[in-house]
Structure 1
Amino acid sequence: MKNKPKISRRSFVKASTALTGGAYLLSPMMANAHFFQRNNDSVQLAWLGNTAPKYNQGFTWGTCWPKGKVKRESSFDLVSSEREEIPVQSWPLAYWPDGSLKWTGHAVPAIELSHTAFQLSPTSKAKSLQGMKVEESDTTIKIDTGDLLYTIPKSGNQIISSIQKGERSLAKNGRLVVLHQNVSDEDAADQIMKTNFQGNISKISLEQKGALRSVVKIEGSHRSDSGRDFISYVVRLYFYHQAASFKMVHTIIFDGEEETDFIKGIGVKFDVPMKDELHDRHIRFAGQDDGIFSEAVRGLTGLRRDPGKVIIGAQLAGEKTPAISEFPANVSKNINYIPAFGDYTLFQGDADSFSIRKRTAEGHSWLNSAHGKRARGLVAVGGPSGSFAFGVRNFWESFPGQLDIKNAHTDTAEVTAWLWAPNSPAMDLRFYHDGMGQDTYPKQLDALDITYEDYEPGFGTAKGVARTSELNFWTLDATPSHSQFNDMCTYLEEPPLLTADSEYMLQVGVFGGLWYTDKLQSDRAKEFNEQLDWYFDFYQKQVKEHKWYGFWDFGDFMHTYDTDRHMWRYDVGGFAWDNSELSTDLWLWYYYLKTGKKEAFRVAEAMTRHTGEVDVHHSGPFAPLGSRHNVMHWGCSAKQLRISTAANRRFFYYLTADERTGDLMREQVNAAEALLKVVPIRKVAPKETWGTDDPNRVYLGFGTDWGSVAAAWLTEWERTEDKEIREKLLNSMRSIGNQPKGFYSMGSRMNLQTGEFEKVKTNRASASHLSAVFGLTEIAIELYELVDMKSFNKAWLQYCEMYNASPEEQENVLGNRLGKLNLQQGHARLTAFVAKEKSDPRLAKRAWEEFYAGEGGIRRHGVAKEISGPEVLTPRTEALGVSTNATAQWGLAAMHCLAILGEK
C-alpha cells in the first residue's frame, strides 16, 4: 500500500473547514475513544505515560487549538471517558494572529482521577466554579483550599506564616534559608566564618486567583543579621482546591563573589507543632524503589520488657497506641527511661549513596541508622493527630541534598528541605583555572584552537546563574500509611500531566509541525524510528553510566567523547558540558512530540530546567545572555543569545503552563540590548563591523542572534498580543527580506526601538554553518506560515536553497560562491523545506542525497560496545563516532525532512 502524500497545514485547515463547516477533524487517539460523544471542536487527552495517577493533589497542563477555531472568550468543559464531568479551571496561554486561542492552560483540583482518557471542549457557556477562597489585604494573602487555610505575609522573612485546619495550627514560620561561609572547606579551614541568611520579601503578587488553582509569586533576597543581602530568589506557591499539599517552585540566583562567597546550605524550613505522645510520633523517609525508613521518636520494640502485639502493631502502623495506663506495668512504669530521638537527618551526598542518622538532641552523638543508594526525597513527621510531610523532586539526581527533622521530641519540631546539604562541602563556584596568561584576544584564540575553550578574564563568573527546584509540602490528618507515603512519593517524582496526542498537535501546526508520527508507515520511517530510538536510549544510558547528576549539572549532556580515555571530555575546555550546542534541547523536544514517550518528556524537561537556569545569566553584567559550552556551565566568554534563546523553552512552557519558564522567555524580549556591552564577534571581527555610538542600535547576526530575538518576540506576541512587539518582529523580518542578499547579508545594526535593520552596503553573500542550527530553522519556518510576508519568505527560501547548493548555483544566484561550509546534513532539512514550498522534485531528491551523504553529520550510528575491566573505572557503553552535536542535528534533520517531504 502506497503512503498517502503529506498534506500541508495550510491545505489541511482549508480542507477540514470545508468538510465540517468549520469544525476541526480529530485524529483517533486511544482505544476507548468511542466512549466520547463526537465533538469536532474538542481534543482528546491522555495521561503522559498512559497510566492514571493513583494519587492526585491537583495539576496543570497546556493544550493547543487550531487557528481560528476557538474564540478568545471561550470556556472549557472536561469530560472523562466514563462521561464524568471534571471541574477544570482554564486560562489563555497564547493567541493566533487572528485573535483565536492557540494554547490554553488548564488545572484540575485534588480529586480522584482513575480515568484513562478525557475530552476537552470549548464552550460559550461559562461555568461558575466553586472552590478555594482567596482574600488579599495590605499585609497578607489568605488562601482557603477547602480544608486548609494558608496565611502568606506580604513582607518580612516568612513565606507562609501559618497553615491551619480549623483552629489547629499544622505548620508555621515557613522561611527560606541560606548558610554562607567566607572560605572553602579545603583552603583555609581555620579561618572559616559562617553566617545565616533568611529570605526577605521584596515583592509579592497574587499571580492567579482561581477557584481550583491559585498561584502566589514571591521575590526577594536572603538577608543576614548585619543587613547584607545575598542570593536572590523567586518562589512560586501553587495551591489546588481540596489538596492536602501545596507545591513550591524555588529559584535561587547567585549574586555573590565566587572568591569569598561559599554556600554551605540552601533550604526551606517550617516549624511543626507536635501533640502526640513521644511513642506516637513517627518519622518516615522514602528510600529507593518502594523502601521506607519507618521509626518512632520513642521506640517500643526490642525492649527488655514486651509491650505486647497490640501496642507494637499500632506503633509500627503509625496508629495511636492505647493510653499509657493500658500498657503492661513493667513497661509503663519505666517508659520515661526509653530514649526519645528528636533529631533525624537523611543526607544524599552523591548519586549513589544516602545515609540516615539520628540523635536524641543537640549536644549528643549521632547514631548511624540506615544506608541506601538513591533516596526519593520525601520525609514525614507527626503522629495520629496529624503529620507534616515535605519532599524535593529529583532529589538524588540533584545531590547534595539533605532532609532534616529537629526537636521532634519537643512541642515544636523544625523541619528543613535542604536543596544544598550543609553536611556536604561548601559550594565552590570559582573558575577552574587561573587563565594561564590569556590576557589578549590573540592568546585567547590560540587557546581556543587547542582546547576549544573561549576564555576571557572576568567572563567565567557564576554571577547571575540560577537554579530551580520543585518541592511539595503536605499537611495530613494522621501518620501516612506506607502505601499512601509511596503514592505521595510517586506524585512528587512523576507529577501527573495530560497531553494531546502527537498527530493532533502535528495537524494543528504548533512548533512548525516539524515531526512525523507513527501514522507514517514506510521503510524510511522504520529506519529513522530505529535510529532515533537508538540515540535517545544511548544518551539515557550515558546519563546513568557517567552520572550526569548534581545540583548544577542535572539535565545537561556532555559535548564530545574521548575515545582514548573511554570517557566524555569533562575536563577539556569547550568539549565538556553541552549547554544547548547545536540544539540538543530541540532534538529532545521534537523526539518527544514524535513519540509521546514519557521518558523523552522527562529528559527534555530536566534539560529545559537546567539550560534555562544554569546556562544563562539572569542578573549581573552578562544578563540575560547564555554561556557557550565549557567545563563549567557558565565558564565560556562567549555570552550569547543562541544559548538563552526562548526557542528552547517554548515546548515545556506550552505543554505544562509553567510560570517560571514563562519568566525565562520574557527575560529574552529585550536581550538584544545586552549585545551593546557584550559583543559576540568582538574577537574575530573589526570594530567597524559591529561598533556603534548609538545606544538604540546594536549589531545582530541574522542567524543565531536574530533567530533568538525572533523566538522571544514571537512568543511574547502570541502570549500577550502586544502590538509593539509584533511590529518590531515584523519590521525585523521585513528588513532582513529587503537586504541585498537576504539572510546571506549575514547581519546588520538593528534599531532597538523599532526592530528594523539597516541595509548593509556590501553586495557580497556570506554564510555561517552555525546560523540555522540554534533554533533559527524552526522559528523561521513557524514565521513563514504564521505571518506569510513575501519579502521574508523569499529570503528564507533563498537561504534554504543556496546553503547546500553547488558553488556554480551559488555564484549564479548570489553573485559569489559561499566557500567551504559545514553541517551539510543538518541543513538538508532546509533544502527539504524549499523543495516542498516550490514543489520541486529535484530539490527533494537533493535533500535526501544531502541527508544520507552525512557530511558534517552522521551516516549511520556506530555499534555500541560494553567496556569493563582495568581500562575503565566502572563498566560503560561506548559508541565510536557519536557526539552530542551531530546526534542533535541528525535527529532534527531526520524528523524535519521526513515531516516536510513525507515519502514523495
Structure 2
Amino acid sequence: MYNLSESRRGFLKKSALLVSSYPFRNTLSDSLTFAPSNGVNPVELKWLAPFKAGIASGVTCGVCWPQGKVKKGSDFIATDEKQQGLPVQSWPLAYWPDGSLKWTAHTLTTDSTIAKQIFVKPGKSKNLDKKVLVTETSDTIQVDTGKIRCSIARSGSVLIRSIVRQESEIVKDGKLVLLLQDQSDSEESLVIRRENFQGTIADVHIEQAGPLRSVIKFTGIHQSAAGQKQIPFVVRLYFHHNSEAIRVMHTLIYDGEESQHFIKGIGISFGVTLKEELYNHHIRFVNSEHEGVFAEAVQGLTGLRRDPGKAITDAQLNGKAVEPNFPKEVGTRLQYIPAFGDYTLSQGEYNAFSIRKRTSAKHSWITAGHGQKAIGLAYLGTPSGGLAAGIRNFWQSYPAQLDVRDANTETGRLTLWFWAPDAPAMDLRFYHDGMEQDTFAKQREGLEITYEDYEPGFGTAKGVARTSEVMLWVVEATPSRETLLEMADTLQNPPLLVCDPGYLEQLKVFGGNWSRADVSVPAKAALEKQLDYYFNYYVHQVEQHQWYGFWNYGDFMHTYDPDRHTWRYDVGGFAWDNSELSTDLWLWYYFLHTGRADVFRVAEAMTRHTGEVDVHHLGPFAPLGSRHNVMHWGCSAKQLRISTAANRRMYYYLTGDERVGDLLTEQVEAARTLAKIIPGRKLPQGEDVNPTPHPLDSVPVGFGTDWGAIAAAWLTQWERTGDPGIRKRLLTSMRAIAAQPKGFFTGSSWLNVSTGEFTISQDKDISVSHLSAVFGLTEICEELVALVNEPAFTKAWLQYCRLYNASEEEQKSELGQSASKLNLQQGHSRLTAFAASHTQDKTLAARAWKEFYAGKAGIVLGKGKLVTIKGSQVLNPVEEDRTISTNAVAQWGLAAMQCLAYVGQYIPEN
C-alpha cells in the first residue's frame, strides 16, 4: 500500500492494497558565480521515489545547512548532475542560534524534474527572465504561470473566477460546497432538513509571490442562502512557473453541534467550458487497479445500429476531435442518440466504488461500472481542452465522490467531494450516553474497566480539522489514457526531493540521536531486521483491519485483542492511538534511519491525521489534543502531549509544508489553555489543586509531557523566526527546571507562560512518571543539549537519564529517596544510552543495552510469532503477533535506533 519507491505500473497495482509573504531568492543558474569559499559543499538532493517528469506542478523540499556556514539572506543556486544550472526559488525555514541558516526551502520547476540528481549551494546568479506573474486589482488577484492565467476573487463565494489557457477560458466559478442537514440519516424522522452552503471568503492574501512558485491563501466560512454560517475553511492554491497544474490544500474545521449539524457533503467544484458537439464532450475516471480508465463521451458513437466508421469511433475513443463526416444513415439521426450529462463515481467504502450516469436530473441513473479502489482522478472536457482533477488518498479517505454534471451543455461542472453526498451524513456524536458517569468517582471506575477517560461535554468534535489535497490540471486537449495514468501516479505519489540521510546524519539534525541503518555486525543486523518487521507489520495491519476513512486514515490502533483477533476498536481508551508514546516520532526517525519512501508516506499520512483530527483548533480545548479513545476526539484528557510540535516539525523541515507550519504556530501559546483545562483529569490530583501561590499569568506544568511539548513549540518558533522573546522564554524555562530542588525529578511547578519562569518548588520529595519522557521530551531535550550551551540544564537532564533506570540504592544516594515502581524500562534505555554517550561512560553503555534487551514493559526479542487466523474464528483471515502493542513498538523502535546511535559500538555480540 505504501511502497512508492517503484515504477508507476508497480505503484498503481500496489496502491490497490493500500501569513505574510515569504522572503525568497529568485535565481537562475545560467552563469554560476559561486560565493567565496565558506566550507559549504553542494548538498545533493535525491528523489524520494521514481515518477513521471513533466506531469507534476513543481517540487519543494527542505535542505539543512551546517551551523555558522550559510549567512542569513544568502542566495542559492541549483545544478543537475551535469552541472547545468537549474531555476530555483529559495526561502528560509529555520535559523541556528547564531543566526545562520539552518533549514531552507527550495522550489524547482516542472522542467527541472528531468534531472536525475540535483545539487543546491549558496551562490549568486542572474534573476529569472520568465516567472510566475502575480498582479493585484481592487477585487482580484491574477496569477500567470506562463501556461495558464488564473483570476482569483478577493471576496464572495467564488474563489477562482476563471482559468484561461491560450486565450480560452477553460475553468470558471471554482467554489467550495457544503451540504448540511439537521439530523443523521439513521433517524426515523420522515423529514430531514438539508441546506446548501458555499464557502465565503473572509480573507485572501498572497502568501508567497516568487518567480517559480506562488501561494494564495484563503480563510473563510461556509454560508447558506439564508445567511447561516458554518464550518470554517483554510484553502491554499499553489502555482508553479510554466505549469498547467495547480495544487490545492483544503482544510475544514468543524464548529458545529454534533447533534444538530451533520455534514452530508463537503467539496470543491469547478465549471468547465464545453463549446463543442456533444460527441466531443469527454468524461474520464481512473481506477487504481489494473491501470484502468473509464473513458466515455457524453454522446457515444460506438455500439450503434449504424456504424459511423472506424475513423470516427477511434477518434472518439481516444478523445480526439471527431470530424463530422458521418455516413448519412448516422449523421441524420444524431439527435436520437442519448446524451448523458451527469456522471458520478462514488467510493462508499475503502474497497468498493461504483460509476453511474444519467441523461439529466429528471431521469433515472443507470449503472456504468464498478471497482474496488478508485485513484480519485476525473476529467471533464473536449478535444480543445478541459479540467483533470483529483483527490489524493481518495479511497483511503472514503467516503469520497467525483461528480460530473451538465456535461451535455456548454458549461459542465466537476465537483470533488471529500465527503460523498451518496454516503450517510457525517455523524460526529459521541458513541455512548455517558452510562451515568456523572461524578468523578464513577468516571474513575469507568477508567478502571475500559481505560476510557470520560467526562460529560469533553468528547466533542468541535474544533477538530481535516486537510485534503487536490491536484488540478488545466489541459489543452483531452489527455491520452497513458497521460491520465501518469497524472494519477503524480496525484497519489507527488515527487519529492530529500537530502541524503547520510548527510543529515553528519549534521546531527534533530539532536543527533539517530544513525543510518547498519548491518555490519550480526547484532545490529538483527535489530535492523526487527525494525523492518515492525514497520511492515503495521502497514499490513492498516490493510487487514481497514484503518481507512475520512477521519481515520493515517492513525494506528492502540492495543490488540487476541481473544477476538482484532484491535480493541470499541474499548474505551484502547482504540485509536492518537500519537500515544510517540508513534509519529518512531516513524519519522525510522525514515531518517532508512531513507525509505514507503516509510515517509506512512509518516506523512500520520502527521496529516494527528495534527488535524486529534487536535482541537477552535473552541474551549484549542489547541490541545485528545488522548487515545474509540473516537479520535472522545477522551476528556485534552493534552499538549498529543498536539505537540515535536510530532510535526520533521515533516515541516523536510517539505516546507505551509499547513503544517500553521499547526506549529498554533502551539506557541498552547500552554495558556492549561489555565482552564487540567491535562490529567482522572489521575489522582490530591485535595489541594493549587498547592502554592502563583502569578496570574501562570499555569501548572509537568516537566515531562507538558514542558516537553511547550519546549518543542518554543524551540520550533525560535528556529523559524529568530524571535528573541521566544528564545528568552525557552532558555528561562530550561534554567528554572535545572534550579528545582530535584531537577527533572521535582516533577512539576507553575510556569509563567509570558516569561518562561517556573516557580521554584518547596517540595523536597521527588515526583516522576513513566510517561514523562516518552512523548517527545527525550528527543527535544537531547536536541536542546546539542543546540544551546546551558550547563545546568544539561546536568539536570543527564541526571534524569542516568537515574531513571538506576537501582533504588543509586537513586536514594543521589536524590535522597528512590523512585519506586517506575515503568517502561526498555523505552528509557535510550536515556541511559544518551548519558553514556555524553559522558563517555562504557559502564552506562553496557547498562543501556542490558535494559534494552531485558524488554521490561516492552518487547523481548525472539518471543514474537506471526500467525495466520482464518476460518470461523474471524470475519476475514488476519495475521497477528500477540506480543505487539503500538505503545511497545513505538518505544522499542525509538530505543533501538537511539541506542544504536549513541552506544552502537558497545552492542553485545549475543
Q: For this structure pair, what is the TM-score category when the shorter chain's length is used for normalisation?
A: over 0.9
Who is 1:23 aligned against?
A: none
TM-score by length of 2: 0.94
Alpha-carbon deviations, 1:418-475, whole Å to 9, x = none? 0000000000000000001111111111110110000000000000000000001111
Distance 2:687 2:406 in 1: 64
Alpha-carbon deviations, 1:658-713, whole Å to 9, x = none? 00000001100000000011012344213634477743010100000000000000
Alpha-carbon deviations, 1:762-791, whole Å to 9, x = none? 111121000000000000000001012011
After superposition, residues 281-680 of structure 1 pair within 5 angstroms as 281-289=281-289, 290-323=291-324, 326-518=325-517, 521-680=520-679
The size of the alignment, in residue pairs, is 866
Who is 1:272 aligned against?
A: 272
Who is 2:800 aligned against?
A: 799
Q: Kindly tell me: are residues 243 and 455 of structure 1, through their superposed partners in 2, closer, same or farther at Cα, counting changes over 3 Å? A: same
Residue 872 in structure 1 maps to residue 884 in structure 2:
no
Partners of 1:201 and 1:221 within 8 A in 2: yes
Distance 1:823 1:591 in 2: 20
Who is 1:248 aligned against?
A: 248
Who is 1:724 aligned against?
A: 725
Who is 1:70 aligned against?
A: 70
Partners of 1:863 and 1:879 within 8 A in 2: yes
Who is 1:28 aligned against?
A: none
Percent same amino acid at aligned positions?
A: 56
Partners of 2:452 and 2:572 within 8 A in 1: yes
Distance 2:423 2:690 in 1: 46
After superposition, residues 82-161 of structure 1 pair within 5 angstroms as 82-111=82-111, 113-125=113-125, 127-128=127-128, 130-161=130-161
Matched to 1:298, the amino acid is Q
Distance 1:749 1:654 in 2: 32
Alpha-carbon deviations, 1:822-847, whole Å to 9, x = none? 00000000001111111111111111
Distance 1:57 1:377 in 2: 18
Matched to 2:878, the amino acid is R
Aligned to 1:113, what secondary structure does the other structure show?
helix
Partners of 1:55 and 1:112 within 8 A in 2: no
Partners of 2:517 and 2:528 within 8 A in 1: no
Matched to 2:642, the amino acid is I
Who is 1:237 aligned against?
A: 237
Aligned to 2:374, what secondary structure does the other structure show?
coil
Who is 1:857 aligned against?
A: 858
Aligned to 1:306, what secondary structure does the other structure show?
coil
Q: Kindly tell me: are residues 138 and 687 of structure 1, through their superposed partners in 2, closer, same or farther at Cα, counting changes over 3 Å? A: farther
Distance 1:852 1:101 in 2: 40
Residue 96 of structure 1, CA deviation: 0.5
After superposition, residues 745-894 of structure 1 pair within 5 angstroms as 745-860=746-861, 862-894=864-896
Residue 408 of structure 1, CA deviation: 0.3
Q: Kindly tell me: are residues 741 and 112 of structure 1, through their superposed partners in 2, closer, same or farther at Cα, counting changes over 3 Å? A: closer
Aligned to 1:88, what secondary structure does the other structure show?
strand
Residue 51 of structure 1, CA deviation: 5.6
Residue 368 of structure 1, CA deviation: 0.2
Aligned to 2:778, what secondary structure does the other structure show?
helix
Distance 1:613 1:40 in 2: 37
Q: Kindly tell me: are residues 579 and 211 of structure 1, through their superposed partners in 2, closer, same or farther at Cα, counting changes over 3 Å? A: same
Distance 2:551 2:42 in 1: 41
Alpha-carbon deviations, 1:99-119, whole Å to 9, x = none? 111111111122262332111
Who is 1:738 aligned against?
A: 739
- Say which is worse superposed, 678-687 or 858-867, in terms of deviation: 678-687
Distance 2:875 2:681 in 1: 42
Partners of 1:52 and 1:115 within 8 A in 2: no
Q: Kindly tell me: are residues 54 and 532 of structure 1, through their superposed partners in 2, closer, same or farther at Cα, counting changes over 3 Å? A: farther
Distance 1:267 1:694 in 2: 47
Distance 1:412 1:52 in 2: 31
Partners of 1:690 and 1:749 within 8 A in 2: no
Distance 2:600 2:66 in 1: 23
Q: Kindly tell me: are residues 55 and 168 of structure 1, through their superposed partners in 2, closer, same or farther at Cα, counting changes over 3 Å? A: closer
Distance 1:630 1:704 in 2: 18
Distance 1:784 1:69 in 2: 20
Alpha-carbon deviations, 1:778-823, whole Å to 9, x = none? 0000000101201111100000001000000000000101111000
Partners of 2:867 and 2:880 within 8 A in 1: yes
Distance 2:656 2:740 in 1: 38
Alpha-carbon deviations, 1:123-168, whole Å to 9, x = none? 1446446311111233221111112111111111111111112432
Distance 2:346 2:661 in 1: 33
Q: Kindly tell me: are residues 397 and 38 of structure 1, through their superposed partners in 2, closer, same or farther at Cα, counting changes over 3 Å? A: farther
Partners of 2:51 and 2:490 within 8 A in 1: no
* Consecutive unaligned residues in structure 1, runs of 5 or more: 1-36
Who is 1:14 aligned against?
A: none
Partners of 2:56 and 2:245 within 8 A in 1: no
Residue 686 in structure 1 maps to residue 686 in structure 2:
yes
Partners of 1:566 and 1:872 within 8 A in 2: yes
Residue 184 of structure 1, CA deviation: 0.6
Matched to 2:67, the amino acid is K
Aligned to 1:191, what secondary structure does the other structure show?
coil
Q: Kindly tell me: are residues 174 and 54 of structure 1, through their superposed partners in 2, closer, same or farther at Cα, counting changes over 3 Å? A: closer
Partners of 2:147 and 2:165 within 8 A in 1: yes
- Say which is worse superposed, 40-49 or 446-455, in terms of deviation: 40-49
Distance 1:384 1:39 in 2: 54
Residue 524 of structure 1, CA deviation: 2.3
- Say which is worse superposed, 631-640 or 184-193, in terms of deviation: 184-193
Partners of 2:180 and 2:195 within 8 A in 1: yes
Distance 1:420 1:700 in 2: 39
Distance 1:248 1:664 in 2: 18
Alpha-carbon deviations, 1:512-547, whole Å to 9, x = none? 122221456222220111000000000000001000
Partners of 1:279 and 1:315 within 8 A in 2: yes
Distance 2:519 2:721 in 1: 36
Residue 49 of structure 1, CA deviation: 2.3
Partners of 2:651 and 2:657 within 8 A in 1: yes
Distance 2:334 2:645 in 1: 62
Distance 1:690 1:587 in 2: 36
Distance 1:899 1:145 in 2: 46
Residue 902 of structure 1, CA deviation: 2.2
Distance 1:85 1:349 in 2: 48
Query: RMSD of aligned C-alpha atoms?
Result: 1.5
Distance 1:745 1:175 in 2: 54
Distance 2:129 2:120 in 1: 16
Matched to 1:822, the amino acid is N
- Say which is worse superposed, 39-48 or 190-199, in terms of deviation: 39-48
Distance 1:366 1:705 in 2: 55
Aligned to 1:176, what secondary structure does the other structure show?
strand
